[in-house]
Chains A and B, each alone.
Chain A
């Protein structure tokens, strides 16, 4: 199992450009998440999905869109990048265990710089 993978690993964009970050998981997890990590602020939830075809807003959704057309993939889009979106982006997936745990498994991250 590859677990959770993210592409690309690094990207530099100019202000106003668009791009899509791809997250893939091979663990058949129902739930998937996109976070951003900024220095001293921990992880903040951007959007999440509770199943194929569903998406929902997290804590900081503005400027981002997502799609979950296939269960194993969760795409994060930036339509018009801004310098404030310079960050490290993490994807995660999870399932609900029999004991009620819902631990999340993380990808390696995508480092995005917007100039």
Chain B
């Protein structure tokens, strides 16, 4: 079945690293995505990783994928107050163009 799970809340101090975790159940996922939603706004694509990759780095963002455990994480280095938002992971199976979203992790960055 299709299910994507995330923890609901994460609080970090400004300047620290944040790690947001996600687990998914469908081993046929091809692409996995991270989206960011700021208050009152739509979802903005942050980054993605293809299922044959273990890691992808993009400036302050590092995505790690453990296919064996079906675990995806997003690490934000030097977290800033502007990073406070809800972060969604999403998976896409090879046979579908639809995305399955997790319920989102609210990141709060304390000054």
* Chain A interface (Cβ < 8 Å from any Cβ of B): 4, 31, 33, 40-43, 45, 48, 50, 58, 90, 92, 94, 96, 99-109
Contact = CB atoms under 8 A, between A and B. Distances in A.
Bin the interface of chain B by size: 20 to 34
Secondary structure type dominating chain B contacts: strand
Contacts of B44: 106
Given A90-B42, A108-B41, A109-B41, A31 B97 contact: yes
Interface of B: 4, 8, 30-31, 33, 35, 40-45, 48, 50, 88, 92, 97-99, 101-104
Contact of B48 (A40, A58, A101): A101
Contact of B33 (A41, A48, A103): A103
Contacts of A45: 98
Contacts of A107: 42
Nearest to B88: A42
Contacts of B42: 4, 90, 106-109
Given A42-B103, A48-B98, 4 more contacts: A31-B97, A40-B103, A43-B101, A102-B97
Nearest to A105: B45
A100 B41 contact: no
Contacts of A105: 45
Contacts of B97: 31, 50, 94, 96, 102
A106 B44 CA distance: 7
